[in-house]
Amino acid sequence: MNFILRLLITAAVAYGLTHILKGVHLTDFTSAIIFALVLALLNAIIKPILVLLTIPITIVTLGLFLLVINALIILLADKLMTGLRVDGFMWALIFSLVLSCVSGVLNSIIADKK
């Protein structure tokens, strides 16, 4: 149940951000739910491999390269989906930063109420 709630929060935040950020486009809320599911799968499967492969550059950049990995995951989700369009790397970077911050805050608020 917690996983479904987190997916719905991520989908709602992503859908809301598409109305604020001009370079990220989701067609409808159903696409936002599919995006949240695809993002969860990519974060569970692909992201750990990328993090492991890029440990040296992550250490040199003091962890800032993880932001690049997050943006690449968003761009990969863009390529795998038809309902999502991201206009470039910078939009993916901004979108991933805001999405993770807002989703994290909302998830912690929901977790505190339980």
Domain boundaries, the chain: 2-99
Q: What is the pLDDT of residues 26-57, one digit of tens each?
A: 999 999 999 999 999 999 999 999 999 999 99
Q: What is the pLDDT of residues 2-33, one digit of tens each?
A: 899 999 999 999 999 999 999 999 999 999 99
CA distance 34 to 38: 6
Residue 82: what residue type?
T
* Size (the chain), residues: 114
Q: Where residue 112 falls among pLDDT bands split at 50, 70, 90?
A: confident
CA distance 66 to 60: 12
H/E element, 96 = helix 89-113
* Residue keyed to tokens 């989700």: 77
Q: How many CB atoms lie within 10 A of CB 86?
A: 24
